[in-house]
Amino acid sequence: MASRLGSLPPQLASSSLRHHRHHLLHPQCSGQASLSWRRAVAPAQLELISVSASTGRCLAPLLVKCNAQTAVATSLSQGTPVRPTSILVVGATGTLGRQVVRRALDEGYDVRCLVRPRPAPADFLRDWGATVVNGDLSKPETIPATLVGVHTVIDCATGRPEEPIRTVDWEGKVALIQCAKAMGIQKYVFYSIHNCDKHPEVPLMEIKHCTEKFLQDSGLKYLIIRLCGFMQGLIGQYAVPILEEKSVWGTDAPTRIAYMDTQDIARLTFIAMRNEKINKELLTFSGPRAWTTQEVVTLCERLAGQDANVTTVPVSILKFTRQLTRLFQWTNDVADRLAFSEVLSSDMVFSVPMAETYNLLGVDQKDIVTLERYLQDYFTNILKKLKDLKAQSKQTDIFL
């Protein structure tokens, strides 16, 4: 298995010439309309793909001729030998990404992490034994170097709340997928959002949906995993403010979300990745039970032994604010983020029955962590720690 920038992977050769146009369905998308992705040409011509310029805004699609010789392209390919245990994790510093890295390290993979260059780099990845490479999805020219010698790409990246979504989540992903295709990545794992096809008015969901379609058409061997929610996020959002007796903000939305522990997600991902029967597939992982905000807050209150100071924000205010911020250019990003309020008000249940998925993966339902157990573990440990600190603090008071 060799990967080379100029080689032509066999899947590509089988389909005939066509070029794609992707339209962003978001009505507010300013200006740009078509995206096309280029194909590598026949080795007889040996033209290297220029991956660097894939900003996604190219308007003149490249017409290529595929002739019959392309089917034997791989005989030419000698490049960096690729070990089947080498993985590139994009978004390795995120909540899900770090658990994926840990799981991969434990299972014996050689993990490479793509992180953005920072003045204070995220050192914990190197501490665990992963290799860290610098790159940025918004600068596509930095991507190819990171893919050399990689067998599988696991994509857990998303834009940070303070950045505009489109650069990383759409253009960056397109560049990454194109690059992966050109360099012969053997498997691409992509994390998406549950029901992303049902909410075209929410920008992030629409982008995820388009990325899924793009990936499916690209010809790579892919695995798309749709997720519902992370338990880890609840800690910062509810558990910590309750412990600190700060105000907890919640909506009165009736949406129920099935949260899942990221460690379980990582474990199931690897099981799915190795399962030979799952080749091109779309899986959904959702937690064992779907919770509303109110239920989560009640659970936290019960476990912390303290009452929460809950500020309930009606969803209508959120929607109104969103409409307001859409009017101004400089608040467009915020509007995008607030777009989830549309989802929240639609009384959805963000959950799917997982019995079939568990069967397919060979996993036992009992092994999946429930939210009650998760929060209980968290609170027991944190209260113990606080008690220890308090005991410690009583000692140091002597010196003052």
- Binding to another protein (CB under 8 A) within 212-231 occurs at 227-230
Decide if residue 189 touches another protein (CB under 8 A). Answer: no
CA distances to 131, 219, 267 from 367, rounded to whole Å, are 30, 34, 11
Integer Cα distance of 378 and 229 in angstroms? 18
**12: closest CA among 60, 70, 53?**
70
What type of residue is 121? P
Decide if residue 188 touches another protein (CB under 8 A). Answer: no
User: Using the rule CB under 8 A, which residue among 105, 148, 282, 310 binds another protein?
Assistant: 105
Q: How many CB atoms lie within 10 A of CB 134?
A: 14
User: Using the rule CB under 8 A, which residue among 68, 118, 127, 327 binds another protein?
Assistant: 127
Q: How many helices (H) and strands (E) does the chain have?
A: 16, 14
Integer Cα distance of 199 and 65 in angstroms? 38
User: Using the rule CB under 8 A, which residue among 109, 188, 190, 238 binds another protein?
Assistant: 109
Site residues (CB under 8 A) for another protein, limited to 70-89: 83-85
Decide if residue 123 touches another protein (CB under 8 A). Answer: yes
Element holding 248 (H helix, E strand): strand 247-251
State the minimum distance, in angstroms, from the CB of residue 211 to another protein. 17
Q: Taking a C-beta distance cutoff of 8 angstroms, is the pair 204, 193 a contact?
A: yes
Decide if residue 165 touches another protein (CB under 8 A). Answer: no
User: Using the rule CB under 8 A, which residue among 14, 33, 71, 161 binds another protein?
Assistant: 161
Decide if residue 108 touches another protein (CB under 8 A). Answer: yes
Decide if residue 263 touches another protein (CB under 8 A). Answer: yes
State the minimum distance, in angstroms, from the CB of residue 377 to another protein. 5
Decide if residue 1 touches another protein (CB under 8 A). Answer: no
State the minimum distance, in angstroms, from the CB of residue 225 to another protein. 14
Decide if residue 69 touches another protein (CB under 8 A). Answer: no
Q: Taking a C-beta distance cutoff of 8 angstroms, is the pair 304, 242 a contact?
A: yes
- Identify each DSSP E strand in 54-109 by its residue range: 80-81, 86-90
State the minimum distance, in angstroms, from the CB of residue 158 to another protein. 8
Decide if residue 102 touches another protein (CB under 8 A). Answer: yes
Decide if residue 191 touches another protein (CB under 8 A). Answer: no
Using the minimum distance from each CB to another protein, give the nearer residue, 31 or 362: 362
Task: Say if strands 152-155 and 86-90 run parallel, antiparallel, or are unpaired.
Answer: parallel
Site residues (CB under 8 A) for another protein, limited to 2-61: none
State the minimum distance, in angstroms, from the CB of residue 325 to another protein. 9
State the minimum distance, in angstroms, from the CB of residue 290 to another protein. 12
State residue 353 phi and psi, 5-degree precision: -70, 130
Using the minimum distance from each CB to another protein, give the nearer residue, 8 or 318: 318
Phi-psi region of 312 (alpha: psi -120 to 50; beta: other; left: phi over 0): beta
Give the residue ranges of DSSP H helices in 132-285: 143-146, 165, 173-182, 203-218, 231-234, 240-243, 262-274
State the minimum distance, in angstroms, from the CB of residue 395 to another protein. 11
Integer Cα distance of 379 and 360 in angstroms? 34
Site residues (CB under 8 A) for another protein, limited to 313-352: 313, 318, 321-322, 334, 337-341, 343-344, 350
Site residues (CB under 8 A) for another protein, limited to 288-307: none
Tokens of 81: 């030998």
State the minimum distance, in angstroms, from the CB of residue 219 to another protein. 25
Integer Cα distance of 366 and 375 in angstroms? 17
State the minimum distance, in angstroms, from the CB of residue 369 to another protein. 9
SS3 helix, strand, coil % of the chain, rounded to 5? Answer: 45, 15, 40
The span of 25-33, 122-130, 139-147, 218-226 binding another protein (CB under 8 A) equals 122-130
Using the minimum distance from each CB to another protein, give the nearer residue, 16 or 395: 395
Block residue for tokens 């410690």: 392
Decide if residue 134 touches another protein (CB under 8 A). Answer: no
Entry field: residues in the chain: 400
